[in-house]
Structure 1
Amino acid sequence: MLLRDARRVGSDRRGDVVVAGGRVVAAGGEGPGIDLAGRWLLPGLVNALDVLDLSVFPPLGTPPFASLYDWGASLEADGGAALRAALAVPLADRLFLGGLRNLLAGATAVVHHHPYHRSLGRKDFPVRVLSRYQFADSPGRTQALRRTYRSSDRRIPWLVRAAEGTDDRARSELDALAAANVLRQNTVILHGTGLRPEDGARIAAARATVVWCPEADRRLYGTTTPVAALRAAGVRVGLGSDSPATGSRDALSNLAAARREGVLDDAGLLTLATAESGAVGRLPVGGLEEGSVADLVAVDDLERFLEGDRRAIALVLVAGRPVYGDPRLMAEAAIGGLELMVDGSPRRLAAPHAPRLRALLKTHPVVSEVTWLRGVRIA
């Protein structure tokens, strides 16, 4: 497939990109293809933290909370009806919708912080999902933390929610990881909201990494991870969305939330949300150079994209195949599917995702009520 007249970030160059076998095979080419007409062509976003099976959950709780434990206690008290309605949607369908939530946000690869399910590896799943990982909930909720880590393969990521909050309990959890001897090179600290700037040296020395979830942090805890200090200490940081239960819309809205924090310039933000998140999650990252994985996003307006506007996404390719985008561009690739309106703009969702979404919207009314689908309707 030929992607004609693509614009690259950080360059005045416009040119053609050829995709075959799921990879970029050359720059330039001839023949039919998709005319991007000068649109920006970027690597797909990599979402370094999601909980895909919570995709139909509403924002839960009445923040602010002192910690993950405080939030969890509030849900036990008043979240029953909402949780039951969401859990009535079958697991495989909730996972699919979690993948779709990422696709509509321009994310092509995801780290899932719950047990791996065979449906995540199907060829018709909307996005790539990390398949080899181990995880723990949080130090205060995980019995025998050291045993949990020791049962894992140290060559793959070990994901743990830690220091999620602002109280003393949250702030002590880095010490808990160190005391259990599980602050290691494959440890991925999720959130880390309560980390102190001086914690960066210890995390960097262990070669552990951190996933930043600015939108969820700000809603739930009123603050966020000290990313600038961590990065200055040499800690590798990725960007994640967490689930809709936190109040986070998706990966793209978290890119916008990260931008509002003023920690990085725009080029740095895009690198954070692609290459750096891929490194933290050990996931493939798209690119425009020959041999790169063809997980790509074409963008109408880079400024609107960085502001979190889903309407700026003109086309998404996963493994070189157009799966979502402007109907005119999808038609140029001879890709049929379901016509949608996304935040007021026409978009097309490729088969086999299209009939499944239609059926779920019809069968489970709760699906149409989730925050990330409120701006989406079948045209």
Structure 2
Amino acid sequence: MHYRILSDCLITPKHVMDRATVEICGRRIKAVHDQFVEDREIPTLDARGKLVAPAFINAHDHFLGTWTPRVGRGHYFHWAHWNADLKSSDVTQDRSKTSDLDRYIMASYKSICAGVTTASDHIPHEINDPFVERMPIRILTDYTLAHAVSDMRLDWGNGIQIEYEQSEGKKPFITHCNEGFDADSKDEVYELHRLGVLQRNTVLIHGVALNDDDIRLMAQQEASLVWCPVSNMFMYNVTADVPRLQKAGVNVALGTDSCATGGLHLMAELQYAKEVAASWDYGEISDRDYLNMVTINAAKALMIHDKLGSVEAGKLADLLVLERKAKDPYAAATDCLPADIRLLTMSGKPLLGEPGFQNLFDQSKETYSTVAIQGQRRLIIGEPMKVVERVRHAVGSHKELPFLPFA
């Protein structure tokens, strides 16, 4: 596919350009021009009056947990106490009637409807390997992992040190961290440092009990943190001190966690993050910071910044065209709803868009269907209503699926 997008508000996100042409050739961005370039021989999409940004990246999810309602009574002392409630809940029994494949498909469409083309599914490879290549979005495949650091962790991977060694410093090593208030959980950052695995490619999830020494170590070792405010507040009634992390120079990305405790989708997570931060009296997070968390910061944490996270020549053409509802571009990009998406592309291929971009969809060899997202007619890759029908048939009821805004 070869086409151009004209924009009078392009967020790269390092800069905002008020006259820009993004040229896409095949899977990549061929060029970003600082003027409007039109050529009758190359199809041109006019996105002037809209906002163009990098497609979003969800830095932490658990696709198998794509189900509602949330599980738990809240305000836990340790993640293991919540896990016990999860295993014994009626919600889990209900969820088990559906297939793993269908939950992966729902997670993918949840992502698409929130402007996400890339997601980190934190789970051992042997579990998600059968599904990742079959999904309509990009699921991170190059990573090593642990479940957590303390002795109460689940048996994921080959052990912390072996998993880190297998990363060779070139893949993200991803683990939950500080997800509790017992002594072992509070000691996890230091333990990672003692083991020699707190490094530039280390990605810590949650960090609800980080102290000043932990943050200093993370900054010193250039480790990243993924912030999941919805899940943190639901489970612990506290979340990471993001302004303090940012001030120390720690790279912070945003993630939803699973629907079992977290946000319905990444756009909802952004809105909630802003609500939580507005109640703090110890620092502010700018709209630009929020956009960075779901673009360049997330790409840096997941070590895909050479391919994704910004609108630059040579990178994959993952682009998001949004209705511009605020004068400030960064506010408009982070105060959005699923219905505000006008076009979403992954590697140049359209995944979701309004009928006005029908010509672009016609160039693709993919199958598309029509759905209504919050009352707005959209073209979407595949046939997502079929999975909705299968899931409702499996559970024997008209199950509400609020993470899918077309269901």
Letter in 2 for 1:244: C
Instruction: Work out whether residues 6 and 44 of structure 2, in 8 Å CA contact, stay in contact via their aligned partners in 1.
Output: no
Distance 1:184 1:144, change over 3 A: farther
Is 1:172 the counterpart of 2:187? The answer is yes
**Which residue matches 1:232?**
247
Kindly state the Cα deviation for residue 280 of structure 1 after the two structures are TM-superposed.
Answer: 0.3
Kindly state the Cα deviation for residue 215 of structure 1 after the two structures are TM-superposed.
Answer: 1.8
Per mean C-alpha deviation after superposition, the further-off stretch among 281-290 and 238-247 is 281-290
Kindly state the Cα deviation for residue 23 of structure 1 after the two structures are TM-superposed.
Answer: 0.8
**Which residue matches 1:136?**
146
State the alpha-carbon separation in 2 of the partners of residues 125 and 179 from structure 1.
38
Distance 1:343 1:195, change over 3 A: same
Kindly state the Cα deviation for residue 231 of structure 1 after the two structures are TM-superposed.
Answer: 2.2
**Which residue matches 1:17?**
22
Per mean C-alpha deviation after superposition, the further-off stretch among 87-96 and 102-111 is 87-96
Among 360, 365, 370, the residue aligned to 2:401: 370
**Which residue matches 2:329?**
none
**Which residue matches 2:285?**
264
Per mean C-alpha deviation after superposition, the further-off stretch among 42-51 and 151-160 is 151-160
Instruction: Work out whether residues 162 and 191 of structure 1, in 8 Å CA contact, stay in contact via their aligned partners in 2.
Output: yes
**Which residue matches 1:345?**
376
Aligned residues: 372
Q: How is 1:318-329 mapped onto 2 (pairs within 5 angstroms)?
A: 318-329=346-357
Is 1:360 the counterpart of 2:390? The answer is yes
Instruction: Work out whether residues 57 and 309 of structure 2, in 8 Å CA contact, stay in contact via their aligned partners in 1.
Output: no
Per mean C-alpha deviation after superposition, the further-off stretch among 145-154 and 96-105 is 145-154
**Which residue matches 1:51?**
62
Distance 1:2 1:163, change over 3 A: same
Letter in 2 for 1:148: G
Distance 1:223 1:113, change over 3 A: same
Instruction: Work out whether residues 19 and 294 of structure 1, in 8 Å CA contact, stay in contact via their aligned partners in 2.
Output: yes
For each residue in 1:314-369, what CA deviation from the matched residue of structure 2 results, as whole angstroms up to 9, or x when unmatched?
A: 11101101111223324553266222122222222123x44653553554357942
Distance 1:29 1:149, change over 3 A: farther
Q: SS at the partner of 1:102?
A: helix
For each residue in 1:18-69, what CA deviation from the matched residue of structure 2 results, as whole angstroms up to 9, or x when unmatched?
A: 2121111134342334332321110011111011121124311121222312
Q: SS at the partner of 2:320?
A: strand
State the alpha-carbon separation in 2 of the partners of residues 144 and 372 from structure 1.
29
Is 1:37 the counterpart of 2:58? The answer is no
Q: SS at the partner of 2:92?
A: helix
Letter in 2 for 1:4: I
Q: SS at the partner of 2:260?
A: helix
Instruction: Work out whether residues 315 and 325 of structure 1, in 8 Å CA contact, stay in contact via their aligned partners in 2.
Output: yes
Q: SS at the partner of 1:287?
A: coil
Distance 1:302 1:141, change over 3 A: farther
Distance 1:306 1:229, change over 3 A: same
Q: SS at the partner of 1:151?
A: helix
Is 1:287 the counterpart of 2:315? The answer is no
Distance 1:133 1:289, change over 3 A: closer
Q: How is 1:87-98 mapped onto 2 (pairs within 5 angstroms)?
A: 87-98=96-107
**Which residue matches 2:159?**
148
Letter in 2 for 1:364: A
For each residue in 1:80-137, what CA deviation from the matched residue of structure 2 results, as whole angstroms up to 9, or x when unmatched?
A: x211221222212211221221111111111110123334442x52211111212222
Among 66, 71, 74, the residue aligned to 2:77: 66
State the alpha-carbon separation in 2 of the partners of residues 319 and 326 from structure 1.
18
Instruction: Work out whether residues 98 and 391 of structure 2, in 8 Å CA contact, stay in contact via their aligned partners in 1.
Output: no
Distance 1:71 1:144, change over 3 A: closer
**Which residue matches 2:334?**
306
- Taking structure 2 as the reference length, what is the TM-score of the superposition? 0.82
State the alpha-carbon separation in 1 of the partners of residues 398 and 302 from structure 2.
28
Distance 1:317 1:16, change over 3 A: same
Distance 1:111 1:302, change over 3 A: farther
Kindly state the Cα deviation for residue 197 of structure 1 after the two structures are TM-superposed.
Answer: 3.4
State the alpha-carbon separation in 2 of the partners of residues 301 and 361 from structure 1.
35
Percentage identity across paired residues of the two chains: 23
Q: SS at the partner of 1:64?
A: coil
Letter in 1 for 2:401: V
State the alpha-carbon separation in 2 of the partners of residues 5 and 185 from structure 1.
37
**Which residue matches 1:118?**
129
Letter in 2 for 1:103: I
Kindly state the Cα deviation for residue 247 of structure 1 after the two structures are TM-superposed.
Answer: 3.5
Instruction: Work out whether residues 286 and 294 of structure 1, in 8 Å CA contact, stay in contact via their aligned partners in 2.
Output: no
Distance 1:186 1:363, change over 3 A: same
State the alpha-carbon separation in 2 of the partners of residues 82 and 219 from structure 1.
16
Instruction: Work out whether residues 145 and 180 of structure 1, in 8 Å CA contact, stay in contact via their aligned partners in 2.
Output: no
Kindly state the Cα deviation for residue 302 of structure 1 after the two structures are TM-superposed.
Answer: 5.1
Kindly state the Cα deviation for residue 175 of structure 1 after the two structures are TM-superposed.
Answer: 3.4
Instruction: Work out whether residues 34 and 333 of structure 1, in 8 Å CA contact, stay in contact via their aligned partners in 2.
Output: no
Is 1:333 the counterpart of 2:361? The answer is yes
Is 1:216 the counterpart of 2:216? The answer is no
Per mean C-alpha deviation after superposition, the further-off stretch among 40-49 and 278-287 is 278-287
Name stretches of at least 5 consecutive residues in structure 2 with no aligned partner.
Answer: 279-283, 327-331
